[in-house]
Structure 1
């Protein structure tokens, strides 16, 4: 539920920056550590895409989305924690759906559901992973079964 109150209403974030970094000659563990640090610093999103660089070297492209207010801290972490020698970054606008949480009863317990609201209508719905995981562990049933149940009983484009 991080940043939930910042994103309750549908809006556009216009002060966002997208950073791209090509990284080779780095351990996967370092990438995971760097991702954790970036998210802890306030990055909205961090992900890696496998790529091939010159001389056909396997590498990763790291992409980071953050508010421009924390750009310098994000760049510092990337330069300190990775093997890159440069960062590309540019402004982007992010259209965010409004969000709200509801609870849905299942035969095994209650699951929180995150709903995405676009123009006043529910257009996305996603069960909270931790709730589903806890139910699966507690009842020794496949995680997939809980998701299937929640989605089957889902919103179908209407209010629940």
Structure 2
């Protein structure tokens, strides 16, 4: 399997979506499990609230990973959750080229993540952690930081 520079637009084949439904696990474990899976190399981890048989509330764990990491990811899921089995779906992922740029603000530099399709800018977003840090340190609403950074970025790029 060819590995790609994630800064470049590409398609990842050989990816796997792993799913399991859980109705007997403390949901407070979810953030910890998510962190462990990401540390092992999972590309994405998300939880969906579901209703299971007999109307029991539960969670569906979804993990997107490279097929080469299945063994490590499975180990974390089986060790950290109450599941007895997993579902696997092969998937391909199309990814935009990515870049990170800094925008100067009255609260310090904020990183903006950009996405490119065929060399054209098609998406940009201020980095949440930078915005949250600025908001906390300066006692301002995070939405004010986001809106300011987006406006400055747009004006600089003449979008």
State the TM-score, normalizing by the size of structure 2. 0.90
Listed as ranges, the gaps of 5+ residues in structure 1 are none
Aligned length: 155
The 1-side partners of 2:108 and 2:36 are apart by 34
Listed as ranges, the gaps of 5+ residues in structure 2 are none
Find the residue that maps to 1:154 and give its secondary structure: helix
| Counterparts in 2 of 1:12 and 1:56: CA distance versus 1, 3 Å | same
Find the residue that maps to 2:116 and give its secondary structure: strand
Find the residue that maps to 1:15 and give its secondary structure: strand
| Counterparts in 2 of 1:64 and 1:87: CA distance versus 1, 3 Å | same
Find the residue that maps to 1:19 and give its secondary structure: strand
Find the residue that maps to 1:155 and give its secondary structure: helix
The 2-side partners of 1:125 and 1:25 are apart by 39
User: What does 1:1-160 align with in structure 2 at a 5 Å threshold?
Assistant: 6-155=5-154
State the Cα RMSD in Å: 1.7
8 Å CA contact 1:125, 1:155 repeated in 2: no
Once the two structures are superposed, what CA deviation does each residue of 1:106-152 show, in whole Å capped at 9, x if it has no partner? 22221111100111111111111222122212221111100011122
Show structure 1 runs of 4+ deviating over 3 A: none
